Each structure stands twice: as structure tokens, then as C-alpha cells.
Chain A
């Protein structure tokens, strides 16, 4: 067995130096709920694991410039318990909360879910819909990247070898805004999305949509933003005609594969159905209708 080293640096600079200096594969460890499984299976054979959790600020939630900043390695259980995030971004909180069991929630993080780059990652469509940005650090300094630019394919990201995410920034929330995430699974808990859909909207005083972002999971090699689906919402109330157009736009954007979780035809149809259901919850929330948890 090859030698595997471990480091738990206490600063961003030290972490970047360790990643840049590794001669072989180096992996960033947040909650480890995907990484440890891949180590065990032999799918990954790194020479170095850099545990980021001792870097100040990488776990925690704060408000800044009217928006929220979530530390990259903050566990799902911490996000779920945050009243401010639950009020402003219930869809994102519920999406992250859908990952795995109570045990997994004690560890899993937004950065891990995004950088594991599964097309079916539950928190990612909600993160895309929210218009979140990732603050990425590396040898060349710090950059802020729209989250939709991070995953590039199953298990692949746009991050360089010496880069990692330190935090996510959520934009200020205008009045009459709402978000939602739904995933379709054939059971009620502990499963992987057949399709996932995240939608965030802002409405005017008459209930007409003025801004929207729609994202789909598990219907493409990466989670995808669907601007065409957002466009059919903007300028409209969520009436039957708008719902039909949203359904069609989501189906048109879906380019799934057939696997054990569903066929191409099934997933495409479900993408449309989920988009309609998710939009209904997001619009309700933007209209101040409290409908509790979506799941």
C-alpha cells in the first residue's frame, strides 16, 4: 500500500502550500462523507489528505452586506439549525438536509457536495438557484466564482490542484422572494435523486415574477442552470399557461441517461413535473404562504 499522509493546516496559506507542493494526488477533506467511501473502495488513491476543518471560519455562518456567508465545511446539521438561513433560504436548507442520514448530516458540507460533482447532488440545484458564489483560494490568490462554474463533469471540477473553496456567499434577499428544492425518489428518505429541481423567485406586489433561477439535477453530466425555464417565469404569475411552459422548458433542457434509477423518458417527464411542483412552493413562499417543509 502506498503511503498516505494527513495534514490539518490552521491557515489558508498553509493549506494552499500543502496542496501545491504535493507530487501526487492531494485531496481536500471537509466532512469526508464521499471522500472516505472513495478511499475505501480504491477509486481514489491520493498521497495527501488536507483536512480544512481547522482553518478559522471554514465552519460557521455569518451575515455580511445583507447576505449570508456559509463556511465551506459547515456541516448540514449546523445549517439546518440556523434560524436566519431557514427564513431566507428554506429551499437551500432543505436541499442540504436531504443528503444522507442524521449521521451524514453531522459531517456533510456544501463544498463537499459541490466538489464531489455528482450530477444528483441534492444541495447543488438549490445552490445554483440561489445565485450563490464560491470563494476559491489558491496559489494565485482569491477569486469569487458563480457556483455553476465549479462542476465540469461527474467527479470533476474547474478547481486547480492547489485550489479549494473556503466559503459560499448568498446574495441579499429582496422582499417577496422564495426558494424551494424537490427531489424525486421512489421512497421517502435515504436515496439518490432520480431528478432534482431547485427554483428561486422574486415577485412584485401583484405576484408577478420579476427574477427567477431554475436548476435541475440528475438529468445531465452536471447539475445545470436552465435559463429558458427561468425566462418563462419572469413577467408572469404562476398560472396554468406559465406552468405548462415551465414544464416544457424543463423537459427540453433535460438530457439524462438511462440507469437503474430511471430511463431517459421517465427522467425527462419527471423533470417537467418536479419543476412545476417546485415552482409552486417557491411562489407560495415568495407570497408569504407558509407551507412548512417541502418534504
Chain B
């Protein structure tokens, strides 16, 4: 079967790949590009484990065709840390133990990044609704929300220590 040539910017680097029409962006990221941080939980847009930021918008990569990535700028969980330094969101997830099995964590961190990019000062209600599309079966969400509210405050320069 003929494959389509796709050129996109992934985590700041230009990336070229061949994909079949029915391959989702998640399939491409994991199986073609080799970025396996984005997870496949449901493959139907319900769980958010595959969340990525595409042209500034948070999307489920399982609900985007790989061929649609042509010309797009995409940030995955692999693009969140700055070199060897964890992003403050990642650091706060660790400090608050906002994960247990970790399967949902890449999606939650990418979704939190998108939230704080758009709204650096969310209320707890806004954070909970924003993250409603990221399912977690371990934490009960409270630890996640505490991490999100804490890192938001830290990134606004409001916390000490």
C-alpha cells in the first residue's frame, strides 16, 4: 500500500515519516518515530493518555490521523523536560506523589502544560474541568490537582521553598 510522506515539527525538531492513512498520530509517534511516552489507553479519545499539543491545542493523538500532522508543530511528553532538567510540572507531580502506576502521567503532564500555557492562574474548578479528559485509576485525582495548583503558583512566582 502506498504510504504518505509527512513532514512535521516534533518537540522542536523537524521530523519526516511515512505513514498509512489509517495510522493515528499516536501510532506514528510510538511505532514510526519511536516516541513511546504517549500511551494508548482507550484508542477512542476517552482517557487522555495519548494527549499531545498540536499547533498550540491539546488533542488526543489517537483522534488525529498521522497524515494530518503534515506541517504541524507537535509537543509530546518527551518535549516537556528541558534537557536533563525536569519541567516544574514533572517535579511537582513527583513531590506530590501525583502518580502511582504512571500510565496516565504523560497525558496529565502534557494536559497540565497546555492548561498553564493558556491560563497560568486556574481555579481548582477550572483545573478539574480542564483535566476531566485525563483518566487516572490510581490517585483519585486529588494529588494530581494539588500538584497542578502548586506548580501553577510556583510558575507564577508565588511560592517559597
> A residues near B, CB below 8 A?
1, 3-6, 8, 29, 31-33, 36-37, 39-41, 49, 51, 53, 75, 77, 100-104, 106-107, 189-190
Contacts and interface: CB of A to CB of B under 8 A. Distances in A.
Interface residues of B, number: 34
25 contacts: A3-B1, A6-B65, A6-B67, A29-B65, A33-B45, A36-B64, A36-B65, A37-B44, A37-B63, A40-B43, A41-B44, A51-B68, A53-B68, A100-B45, A100-B133, A102-B114, A102-B115, A102-B130, A102-B131, A103-B48, A103-B51, A107-B63, A189-B129, A189-B132, A190-B46
A103 B65 contact: no
Given A75-B57, A103-B60, A49 B111 contact: no
B65 to A, nearest CB: 7
B38 interface: no
A158 B147 CA distance: 49
B24 interface: yes
Contacts of B65: 6, 29, 32, 36, 49, 51
Contacts of B132: 101-102, 189-190
B100 interface: no
A46 B114 CA distance: 34
Contact of B21 (A6, A31, A106): A6
B22 interface: yes
B59 interface: yes
A118 to B, nearest CB: 14
A5 B57 contact: no
A6 B4 CA distance: 9
A37 B20 CA distance: 17
Nearest to A4: B21
Given A102-B133, A104-B63, A37 B45 contact: yes
A112 B134 CA distance: 23
B133 A106 contact: no
A5 to B, nearest CB: 6
B21 A5 contact: yes
Which has the most chain B C-beta neighbours within 10 Å: A36, A41, A102? A102
Interface in B49-87: 51, 54, 57-60, 62-65, 67-68, 70
Contacts of B67: 6, 8, 51
A190 B46 CA distance: 9
A190 B130 CA distance: 11
Contacts of A6: 4, 21, 65, 67
A4 B3 CA distance: 10
